[in-house]
Amino acid sequence: MDQEHQVVVVVVPLPAQGHLNHLLHFSHLVSDRQIPVHYVGAATHNHQVKNRIHGWDPSATSNIHFHDFLIPSFPTPPPDTNAANKWPSHLLPMFEATDHLRRPLAELLHSLSLTCRRVVVVHDNVMSFAAKEATLIPNGEAYSFNSCSAFGVMFFKWEALGRPSFPGIESINQDLLQLSFEDCMTYDFINFITKHMEFSDLHVGEIYNTCYPIEGKFIDLVSQEPFLKAGNKRWAFGPLNPLSSVNSKSAHRCLEWLDKQSPNSVLYVSFGTMTSISDEEITAIAIGLEKSEQKFIWILRQADLSDVYANQEEIQIKLPEGYEERVKGVGMIVRDWTPQLEILGHSSTGGFLTHCGWNSCMESLSMGVPMAAWPMHSDQPRNTMLITEILEVGVLAREWGNRKEVASPTEIEDALRKLMASDDGEDMRKRAEELGVAIRESASKEGKSTAEFNSFIAHISRV
């Protein structure tokens, strides 16, 4: 394609690991269609997302151009493990620093607009200033990328509209609609969102990392007014993560350990990159895991700092005295970065104790792995409802209503036994496996997700 007729995509993520990861997966998919992608952010966050990506051939990024924009330094306070609200307030200074991306982004868009037929800006829905900048060039257009489930987005929008009644909502279990999601976020972050979604009406379409086998009903709901502005378009073409993982040159030691275990026998435990857990709850999890008598891999790391490469002393999370020796051979404690997608895709992995971040949910669902759900903040309580109540491919490890109490080891033990060693758990596993097959079929050459992605590519490439 001649340069003057070229379409380019500019990707603007929120600099938190799950959001960075979603949009880098998206960038790979677009790049595979021979459309240049410009991925923008601070140098430290671009470095972070490239280092942590799994499942893609590292040499397959030649059509992705990373722009390391300079922004002023920002505070990198440690996480507060004892905070009453689990939302990661220590990351807020980093999020606020994204205001400084606006000017270099505007310069990049202007430069691209001089040589490209169309400049397509795909921005995290919170980073709506990118939509404003897209409107300021004559050949620019913006699309909002939702890093939450369609179910979660529907709830957020419905509550913002004052919970109006209409046929789609009325068909949902009324008990679910009455649940309170107070404390999902801090007031400071709500204010940040309010400010940074100021230009959200300027995008011309929305993208979701989900698919019809998972939440077709809710994809259709968010495609209607009042959830989608008249004239706007919507695409759902998840999962964005690879479904046939490209193994790294040197396998992580936990994968070597999984190779020696029986099929579906290992519980994978990880609460993501933004969650801080108190010492008391770490102890409860440790004892609950031990008493459940299930094999496990537990990723035990502090929540990410704003700059994961900042020169700060790593505080090792403490376990009960003698714990690691007692569980040797049964459980593996991992304190470094791990290839989650490859772990979930391993035949020995039979369950996932998770915070239910949407990135983790999508990876687990696409690999057919059932979950024990322990929501911490943000969209996670809603994702938990989807996993446990609607899809029925998971068990509650922790009720959202009990979030202010310290979990008991018995509560955790019971949930893990139910998931990994009960008839109910086996039924969940079968449903998860069947759903995984349907998801992979949707992402196949003739599948619904592929058709949606083709539609998006055709739309942005239109003459």
Round to whole Å and give the CA distance between 229 and 207.
14
The amino acid present at 96, given as its one-letter code, is E
Amino acid at 273: T
19 is catalytic: yes
Could you confirm whether 379 is annotated as catalytic?
A: no
Task: Dig out the tokens for 39 from the structure.
Answer: 């991925």
What is the 3-state secondary structure of the chain?
A: CCHHHCEEEEEECCCCHHHHHHHHHHHHHHHCCCCCEEEEEEHHHHHHHHHHCCCCCHHHHCCEEEEEECCCCCCCCCCCCCCCCCCCHHHHHHHHHHHHHHHHHHHHHHHHHCCCCEEEEEEECCCCHHHHHHHCCCCEEEEEEECCCHHHHHHHHHHHCCCCCCHHHHCCCHHHHCCCCCCCCCHHHHHHHHHHCCCHHHCCEEEECCCHHHHHHHHHHCCCCCCCCCCCEEEECCCCCCCCCCCCCCCCHHHHHHCCCCCCCEEEEECCCCCCCCHHHHHHHHHHHHHHCCEEEEECCCCCCCCCCCCCCCCCCCCCCCHHHHCCCCEEEECCCCCHHHHHCCCCEEEEEECCCHHHHHHHHHCCCCEEECCCCCCHHHHHHHHHHHCCCEEECCCHHHCCCCCCHHHHHHHHHHHHCCHHHHHHHHHHHHHHHHHHHHCCCCCHHHHHHHHHHHHHCCC
Catalytic residue among 38, 90, 124, 377: 124
Helix orientation angle between 17-31 and 358-366, rounded to the nearest 10 degrees: 50
Q: Which residues are catalytic?
A: 19, 124
